[in-house]
Every structure is written in C-alpha cells, then in structure tokens.
C-alpha cells in the first residue's frame, strides 16, 4: 500500500488498528484550541513520523457535533468535547484518514460516519459508512461538500461563526513548516509537503485528478466574503489573509 500524502516512509497500513480493535489508544496531542463559539481544533502526533494531524470539531445549529478527522484524545479532553455538544457525525475526510474512525464509532454508537463518496471503499475497511457528503443533512452552521478535481475522494467542511466563515480542508492543502533531519529532507525535497501553504507533490501525483478543476475550487473558496481561516488536516491553520493565500496556491496549479 502506498504511503499516505506527505509521509516520510511509514506505510499507512502499519498505522491502522487491527480489524475489530476499537481500544481507545491515545497518542500525544496538544490542548484543545477554542477558535470560535462553535469551532474547536486539536493537533496530535502520528506514530514514528513527524507529520502532525488535526481534528476539527464544529457544533451545528441543532447542537450536535461534527468531528472532522477524529483523533482519540485523553479522557479529560474527550469529556470537554462531550460538554461542548453531543457527537453526531464523524467525518472521515478521505481513505487515508481513518486511523481512529473505528474507535470513535465504538465510543459513540449513535454517531453517523460520513465520508466522500469516492473514499467509501477504503473507509469501510475500518468502519461502516452511513452517509456520503451529498447525503449529509446540511446545516446553517456546518456544511459539507465534495471538491471538484478529486474524483469525489476529497471535500471541504464549511463552518459559519459569529466572526466569519472557516473552511476545513484535508490532504488537498498542506501548511507545514520545513523540518530538520532525514524526515525533514524527504518532506521538503521528495514529497514536497513542507514550506508553508501548498499543494504537496504527493497530492499532485496521486490524489488530484483534474488540476484545473481544483484551481477553480480554490478560487471559489477564496471568494467567500467573510472567510477568516483555513484549517488543514496536517499542521498549521491559515489565518493570515486566508483568501489571498488560497489564490496564491491556486496560481501554482
């Protein structure tokens, strides 16, 4: 199996729990960041590699939580999330980001698992899928849709808050700094994953199916009138001139 986007050699299969293993296994993670009244973010580690992963938790207008790219957290943090709202939907944003999906479903049996239509086959190797992005019950506060240019395998989550709109992307866009050592060399020079907001070389080679269509998508997202930030599933949030950053990345496609 190919390594996931941006990886430095660790195979994705080696990070997946054994089939049926839903034990709550916690890797190191940072504290919860409370970005908005209805939007939280957590950054965590991956085993054996310097790539960071990001979980985004958004609260719908009905009070239910949408958990994007779920990460198993320490109990105090999970209880804090449960006080924030009832976990209602788990978004598995593509066929690679499924490490803790089965664990969340086991912890919250009523949780509806959502993924892009084109990722369903891979996601269901770990957890049954209830809905695709087109079937998700859209909400005034939290929406999901598929991104053009990815063969229905990637999408975007939109979160409307009092200060503006945030969008959450997955492997479509990276925002990680350059790192040192052998891993840093691979991420910079081989996979092209590090060095600020960009479309990684891995995404260009293996994930994007139509670069022009994705460029148009980035330009549409940049035109959101009150866009305040872009959250990505690996490393840093883009909050400084989010529209301009999306346009600059689009120009590279």
Residues 6+ apart with CB under 8 A from 138: 144
Q: Give all domains of the chain, ordered by start, each with its CATH number.
A: 12-16+26-250 (3.60.15.10)
114 in Cβ contact with 126 (< 8 Å): no
Q: φ and ψ at 69, to 5 degrees?
A: 60, 60
Rounded Cα–Cα distance for residues 80 and 125 (Å): 30
Percent of the chain with pLDDT over 90: 79
SS3 label, residue 53: strand
Query: Does residue 117 have a pLDDT over 50?
Result: yes
Phi, psi of 113 (to 5 degrees): -90, 125
Per-residue pLDDT at 82 exceeds 50: yes
Going along the chain, which residue ranges are E strands?
33-36, 39-46, 49-59, 64-68, 86-91, 112-115, 131-132, 142-146, 155-161, 164-168, 174-176, 196-198, 227-231
137: left (phi over 0), alpha (psi -120 to 50) or beta: beta
Per-residue pLDDT for 183 more than 90?
A: no
- CB-CB contact of 231 with 175 (8 Å): no
**Per-residue pLDDT reduced to its tens digit, 13-49:** 555 665 557 899 999 999 999 999 999 999 999 998 8
Quick: pLDDT tens for 202-249: 999 999 999 999 999 999 999 999 999 999 999 899 999 999 999 999
| Tokens describing residue 224 | 């959101």
What confidence category does residue 11 fall into, taking pLDDT thresholds of 50, 70 and 90? very low
Q: Is the pLDDT of residue 99 over 90?
A: yes
pLDDT category of residue 7 using cuts at 50, 70 and 90? very low
* Predicted structure pTM score: 0.91
Answer whether residue 1 shows pLDDT above 50.
no
């Amino acid at each position: 199996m190919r390594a996931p986007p941006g990886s430095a050699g660790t195979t994705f299969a080696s990070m997946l729990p054994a089939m049926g293993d839903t034990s709550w296994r916690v890797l190191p993670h940072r504290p919860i960041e409370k970005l908005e009244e209805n939007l939280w973010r957590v950054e965590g580690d991956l085993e054996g590699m310097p790539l960071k992963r990001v979980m985004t938790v958004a609260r719908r207008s009905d009070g239910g939580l949408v958990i994007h790219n779920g990460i198993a957290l320490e109990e105090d943090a999970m209880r804090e999330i449960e006080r924030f709202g009832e976990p209602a939907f788990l978004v598995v944003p593509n066929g690679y980001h499924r490490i803790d999906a089965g664990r969340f479903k086991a912890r919250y049996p009523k949780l509806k698992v959502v993924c892009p239509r084109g990722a369903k086959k891979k996601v269901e190797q770990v957890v049954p899928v209830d809905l695709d992005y087109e079937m998700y019950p859209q909400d005034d506060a939290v929406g999901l849709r598929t991104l053009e240019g990815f063969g229905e395998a990637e999408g975007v989550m939109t979160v409307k808050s009092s200060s503006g709109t945030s969008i959450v992307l997955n492997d479509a866009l990276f925002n990680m700094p350059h790192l040192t050592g052998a891993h840093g060399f691979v991420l910079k020079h081989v996979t092209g994953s590090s060095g600020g907001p960009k479309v990684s070389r891995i995404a260009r080679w293996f994930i994007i199916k139509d670069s022009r269509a994705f460029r148009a998508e980035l330009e549409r997202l940049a035109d959101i009138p009150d866009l305040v930030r872009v959250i990505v599933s690996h490393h840093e949030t883009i909050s400084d001139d989010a529209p301009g950053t999306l346009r600059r990345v689009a120009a590279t496609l």
